[in-house]
Amino acid sequence: MTDVYAPFDPAFQADPYPAYRRLRDEDPVHRHADPPFWALSRFEDVWTAVRDHGTFSSASGLTFYEDEIGKLGLAPTIVMLDPPRHTVLRRLISHGFTPRRTAAMEDALRAFVRARLAEMRQREADGETVDLHRDLASPLPTFALAELLGVPEADRKRFDPWVAALTTFQDRGFDAAAMTEGPGVQAVAEMFAYFSGVIAERRARPGDDLISALTVAEADGERLTDWDVLGFCFVMVAGGNDTTGNLISHGVTLLSERPGQRAKLVEDPSLIPNALVEFLRLEGSVQALGRTTTRPVTVHGVEIPAGEKVMMLYGAANRDEREFGPSADALDVTREIPRHLGFASGVHFCIGSHLAKLQARVALEELLAAHPHLDVDRPRAKRIMSPFTRGWVSLPVHLGGRPGAG
Q: Which residues bind ligand HEM (CB under 6 A)?
A: 58, 62, 78-79, 90, 235-236, 239-240, 243-244, 247, 285-286, 289, 342-344, 348, 350-352, 355-356
Q: Which residue is nearest to ligand HEM, using beta carbons?
A: 352
Which of 286, 317 has the CB closer to ligand HEM? Answer: 286
Cα(2)–Cα(361) distance, rounded to whole angstroms? 33
Give the nearest distance from C-beta 373 to ligand HEM in angstroms.
25
Give the nearest distance from C-beta 14 to ligand HEM in angstroms.
20
Which of 90, 203 has the CB closer to ligand HEM? Answer: 90
Which of 348, 398 has the CB closer to ligand HEM? Answer: 348
Give the nearest distance from C-beta 240 to ligand HEM in angstroms.
3
Cα(132)–Cα(228) distance, rounded to whole angstroms? 34
* Nearby residues of 130 by Cβ (< 8 Å), 6 or more positions away: 120, 123, 124, 396, 397, 398, 399
Give the nearest distance from C-beta 277 to ligand HEM in angstroms.
10
Cα(231)–Cα(78) distance, rounded to whole angstroms? 8
Cis peptide before 7, with omega less than 30 degrees from 0?
no
Give the nearest distance from C-beta 247 to ligand HEM in angstroms.
4
Cα(79)–Cα(186) distance, rounded to whole angstroms? 23
What is the b/e burial string over 268-305, where b = at least 16 CB atoms within 10 angstroms of the residue's CB? eeebbeebbbbbbbbbbbbbbbbbbbbeebebeeeebe
Cα(347)–Cα(79) distance, rounded to whole angstroms? 9
Question: What residues form DSSP beta bridges with 309?
Answer: 292
The C-alpha angle 114, 252, 320, rounded to 5 degrees, equals 140
Give the nearest distance from C-beta 286 to ligand HEM in angstroms.
4
Which of 363, 399 has the CB closer to ligand HEM? Answer: 363
Give the nearest distance from C-beta 306 to ligand HEM in angstroms.
20
Cis peptide before 84, with omega less than 30 degrees from 0?
yes
Cα(72)–Cα(184) distance, rounded to whole angstroms? 11
Give the nearest distance from C-beta 335 to ligand HEM in angstroms.
18
Cα(261)–Cα(326) distance, rounded to whole angstroms? 18
Cβ(145)–Cβ(126) below 8 Å: no
Cis peptide before 141, with omega less than 30 degrees from 0?
no
Cα(53)–Cα(355) distance, rounded to whole angstroms? 25
